[in-house]
Amino acid sequence: MRAVVQNDKRRASGGVRIGIAVLTLAAIASGCAQGDTGRIPAAGGQQPLDAPPARALDSYASKLRAAHAARIAAAQRWRLRTVPLTAPPAPAKKPRIRTREGFEVKGHRRLDLPPVFTTVPTRDKVVFLTIDDGVEKDPAFLRMMSDLKVPYSAFLSGYLIRNDYGYFKKMQGRGVVLNNHTLRHRLMRGLSYRAQKREICGMQRLIEKRYGKRPTLFRPPYGSYDRATLRAAKACGIEYAPLWNEEVFADHWEYREGDRRLRPGDIVLTHFRGRDQWRGTMPDMIRRFLNKVTAEGYAVGRLEDYL
């Protein structure tokens, strides 16, 4: 895994940025420690002011070094080519989310229906990982994502999670937002408004009962929807309907755009699947995902931070 460390040193953000911060803090701490008293002389005969304690700066620098070392170790442990980049802070001013051109339904704006989008408008070089359904419940996946500290959003279907609500409770406890993917994963387009509302509102109630909070994000199964879908979603308390621009599997990627390129703010879809459905495991999929986005200079952001 020597390549992991070597590649990490070349990065313009993430590891290098932390390393510079550590060296700067260490230098400041050293300078404070070399003074006779460690105090700044006061003007006008007032009592001198205390300088920042060298021990506090040393402690902070040590924590930064330890966190950076932990990221390198996690990347090695999960056999990544490089250490994942650290996402920038959540934007203080959230971008305005609009429905992607061509994805509107009749009366979309007039009825103030949830926007349907595949990319978040941002200049940050981030992409967003979203995971659908809930079939596979791989404990190694939870460990991997915790070790690497990679954010993601889950879109769950009721009938697929009911045999292990606890798995997703653990996920929620690690900061993952649990969103709505309907009760039974039916093809929504063409169903009656009442039937669609049962699917969406029913999942809202289930998530609130099991996990304590009603979602504001909804993804229609198969990415298929109509005007009734979005009307029902709004009636159930949904504010956004994110789709995706890329999909990643354990052994390949698929793209909505013909140029097969990642773009800042792209939403990436994958699924809770294992070897029964894929040519690999969920950790295999995450490895493929992270290796590509990191190599192209992207960090993984938290979708809800931008909404």
Task: Mark whether 200 and 288 lie in a shared domain.
Answer: yes
pTM of the model: 0.82
100 vs 121: CA distance, rounded Å: 11
Task: Mark whether 62 and 128 lie in a shared domain.
Answer: no
- Please give the helix or strand (H or E) that residue 255 lies within, else none: strand 253-255
- Assess if residue 169 is contained within a domain: yes
Task: Mark whether 177 and 67 lie in a shared domain.
Answer: no
Nearest residue to 272 via CA among 163, 131, 120, 145 = 131
Task: Mark whether 221 and 269 lie in a shared domain.
Answer: yes
- Assess if residue 37 is contained within a domain: yes
- Judged on CB neighbours under 10 Å (0-12, 13-18, 19+), 282 is buried
- Please give the helix or strand (H or E) that residue 33 lies within, else none: helix 15-34
- Assess if residue 27 is contained within a domain: yes
- Judged on CB neighbours under 10 Å (0-12, 13-18, 19+), 230 is buried
CATH number of the CATH domain containing 203: 3.20.20.370
Task: Mark whether 179 and 286 lie in a shared domain.
Answer: yes
Which residue range(s) make up the domain with 52?
A: 2-77
Per-residue pLDDT of the chain (307 residues; tens, 9 = 90+): 444 444 444 444 444 444 444 444 444 333 333 333 333 333 344 444 455 567 777 888 888 888 889 999 999 999 999 999 999 999 999 999 999 999 999 999 999 999 999 999 999 999 999 999 999 999 999 999 999 999 999 999 999 999 999 999 999 999 999 999 999 999 999 999 999 999 999 999 999 999 999 999 999 999 999 999 999 999 999 999 999 999 999 999 999 999 999 999 999 999 999 999 999 999 999 999 999 999 999 999 999 999 9
Task: Mark whether 157 and 239 lie in a shared domain.
Answer: yes
Task: Mark whether 275 and 188 lie in a shared domain.
Answer: yes
Task: Mark whether 72 and 188 lie in a shared domain.
Answer: no
Q: What sections of 164-215 are H helices per DSSP? A: 165-173, 193-211
Per the structure, the count of domains in the chain is: 2
- Assess if residue 121 is contained within a domain: yes
